Chain A
Amino acid sequence: MATTTSISPSARIKRRSSAHYRLRRRVRKGALGLLILLVLAYTLFPYYWAIVSSTKQGAELYTTAFLPALNFGYYRQLFDNPVFMGSLLNSVFVATGTTVVSLALGIVSAYALGRLDFPQKRVVLMAILMISIFPQVAVLSGMFELINALGLYNRPSALIVTYLLSTVPFTTWILTTFIREFPRELEEAALIDGCSHFRILTRILLPLMGPSLASTGILAFILAWNEFLFALTFMLTDENKTVPVAIGLIGGTTRYEYPFGQIMAASVTVTLPLIIVVLIFQRRIVAGLTAGAVKG
């Protein structure tokens, strides 16, 4: 009993000429390009301004010339400053240490939370998330006691311990999501192939986790590199300070001079390692994204 239903004219889709849609597509493309330029200018200009300012000397600083003066005097001063260079090394140590430890903890806990079934799983996941809710100031005094009790006061390793508070929650969460989506059959195939759990982790899981390890690693590194409050509180002497604090403590030759140029030179110097790290890992992320799925 096939009945043919006729479509009433009002139900038809209205269609305009092809030229109309072509024009619309071009306008959209142009608008998108404009928007990208705007965003780039907004995000990159401050850094560009820092570079420009860092190469200007004395009164030049108060002019609004957009081109760098290419006077690298402040940089020379900076590299001759042993305290600043020392703080750079401290920062590298702290940021790398934080990244490594939080990734190691993150992988282990993510494997448990993503793969094993235990009743308190949800509670644990929520608790981990809760940790990152508290503002740093709120835990500052408690942390101070902890650092003292551990005998780590005025030692860079104290910063690694405290930074874990903010890095471990998100590394665990991101890696848990990854492991959850990791095809179980791959692990089973490795089991069938005679692998122990350790071998599965090192030969199958870790190589495939490269991209997510890289992205969480970058985030943890940046967070540890830029942290100011804990670094200011827990480090007493100059030789143990990290870069953000060291920059904050750069002083002028007189108490009425604000060493703007020096600070800008230091800021630029401090950002370079971050850019290098991101660029290195960026390639891994892109390479990992194309690694291909289980079925096709």
Chain B
Amino acid sequence: MWFGQSPRCLSTVSHDHEPAAVQARWRSIVSLIGFAMASIALSSVTKAYGTHTVIRGVDLQIADGEFIVFVGPSGCGKSTLLRIVAGLVPASSGQVLIDGEEVTDVPASKRGVAFVFQSYALYPHMSVERNIGFALETMRLGKDAIRRKVETVARMLKVDHLLARRPRELSGGQRQRVAIGRALVREPEIFLFDEPLSNLDSDLRMEMRIEIARLHEDIKTTMVYVTHDQAEAMTLADRIVVLNQGSIEQVGTPLELYQSPVNRFVAGFIGSPRMNFASLAAGLEAGGFSLPAGLVADGGQPVSIGVRPEALSIVAEGAGRMNGILERIEDLGHEHFAYIRLSDESIWVVRVAGRPPVERRNQPVGLSFADADIFVFDSEEKRMDHRSSGALPEGTPVGGRSLHER
């Protein structure tokens, strides 16, 4: 059963490894509940509080059954946008359409979407059973019908032994399951998640992340998920929406965002540790780097470059394309991060698998990287395409080891 996974069996999460009987049982539960799907469309949605604009004209199409993740720095409006979809916050202008139907002014209670809150927002004075069944109670369903549905959902989420408990008697992970159960029981067409895992510790977060991915695979309902966690965004999303200061910077699959970000913001936001940047004007000349002639297409002035930490390697001083001082090494066991101070005092991070190079701290070192790994940005911080092809060459992995191969 998928929601009962312990972190130890994470390697067996895919369906193929499961006994057929378990799969069949799961299928039968899913078919018992029966989920519809719905598309979502936002057209020039804005939101302002007084003179403070939070959302600046967002257009977005979300297809039936798609898993969309909103990411962005705190205060970028991602939660507000989700609340606009839910109807908890009215849009100042623009339209929200669910399945082609205009719902901009329909209140949250009538939209039939499910929302999982960051704080879970379980009703503290109700048992788990009533928490899950409360929406059905509000719909005036019969007692027996409510009980049946609540039990089905609780079994699915492996909280059926907790039905009589109050939320305060549950652990964080159990509360999270109950919160998801409360959303699930209504058979919603749209699932909205507002940073649902940010209150969990990292082990549990990874477990729940996989279970949410599984949930989506199984019920195939449209899901919109807000997070600031890179790993959640990259692993869960069909498409990621990167938001910044209330506008969409880029929409694309995780790989698209990683390999061909449209601008410096997206390049810096996607990938962890973040991309190293340097301006071409001052620092790099001193650091010993100059942009190879003819690397980027004409029609713009290259102003800065970026190289991902995983595309860099440390070589002897003078042997690479840039020089700096190896200042600090963080050893994570399976990989290490080296921090190198360049001559312009900026610090670049190098991510290298395996054991760290010893005895080289505070030593001058060189940095080497391939032409293909250089992201070039113009004066408006837009990424400039390399001359050889439209985007980064397909099939040439970024730096030879992209995030997804790890």
Contact = CB atoms under 8 A, between A and B. Distances in A.
B121 A183 contact: yes
Interface in B323-367: 362
A291 B362 CA distance: 56
B121 A188 contact: yes
B374 interface: no
Interface string B119-132: 11111110000000
A194 B113 CA distance: 10
B168 A292 contact: yes
B139 to A, nearest CB: 6
A188 B175 CA distance: 17
Contacts of A180: none
A246 B356 CA distance: 90
Given A194-B110, A195-B138, A208-B124, A296 B117 contact: no
Nearest to B139: A194
Given A194-B110, A195-B109, A292-B166, A189 B124 contact: no
Contact of A191 (B108, B123, B186, B362): B108
A192 B109 contact: yes
A250 B404 CA distance: 91
B221 to A, nearest CB: 15
A191 B125 contact: no
Nearest to B108: A191
A291 B108 contact: no
Contacts of A194: 109-110, 135, 138-139
B125 A208 contact: yes
Contacts of B117: 185, 188-189
Contacts of B110: 194
B153 interface: no
Nearest to A288: B125
Interface string A190-223: 1111111001000110011000000000000000
A7 interface: no
A1 interface: yes
B119 A192 contact: no
A204 B199 contact: no
A122 interface: no
A250 B175 CA distance: 62
Contacts of B107: 191
Contacts of A290: 168
A193 B124 contact: no
Nearest to B328: A2
Given A292-B167, A296-B172, A192 B88 contact: yes
Contact of B168 (A193, A195, A199, A291): A291
A295 interface: yes
Interface string B209-229: 000000000000000000000
Contact of B122 (A1, A191, A195, A294): A294
Given A192-B86, A196-B109, A204 B115 contact: no
B109 A295 contact: no
B124 A291 contact: yes
Contact of A1 (B121, B123, B134, B362): B362
Interface string A170-191: 0000000000000101101111
Interface residues of B, number: 33
Contacts of A295: 119-120, 172, 175, 199
B8 to A, nearest CB: 25
Chain A interface extent, by class: 20 to 34
A48 B108 CA distance: 59
Contact of B138 (A193, A292, A296): A193
A201 to B, nearest CB: 14
Contacts of B88: 188, 191-192
Contacts of A190: 123, 134
Interface in B152-178: 166-168, 170-172, 175
A183 B88 CA distance: 14
Nearest to A186: B121
Contact of A294 (B114, B121, B170, B186): B121
Contacts of B308: none
Max chain B Cβ within 10 angstroms of own Cβ: one of A1, A208, A291, A295: A295
A203 B125 CA distance: 10
A192 B108 contact: yes
A23 interface: no
A207 B125 contact: yes
Max chain A Cβ within 10 angstroms of own Cβ: one of B109, B118, B120, B122: B109
Given A192-B88, A207-B125, A294 B109 contact: no
B182 interface: yes
A39 interface: no
A40 interface: no
B205 to A, nearest CB: 15
Interface of B: 86, 88, 107-110, 113-115, 117-125, 134-135, 138-139, 166-168, 170-172, 175, 182, 186, 199, 362
Given A195-B138, A291-B125, 10 more contacts: A188-B108, A189-B117, A189-B123, A190-B134, A191-B108, A192-B88, A193-B109, A292-B124, A295-B172, A296-B172
A-B pairs with lowest CB-CB distance, top 7: A292-B168, A193-B135, A185-B121, A189-B121, A191-B108, A194-B138, A192-B115
22 contacts: A1-B362, A186-B121, A188-B88, A188-B121, A189-B121, A189-B123, A190-B123, A190-B134, A191-B88, A191-B109, A192-B113, A193-B109, A193-B182, A194-B110, A199-B138, A203-B134, A204-B123, A207-B125, A290-B168, A293-B168, A294-B124, A295-B120
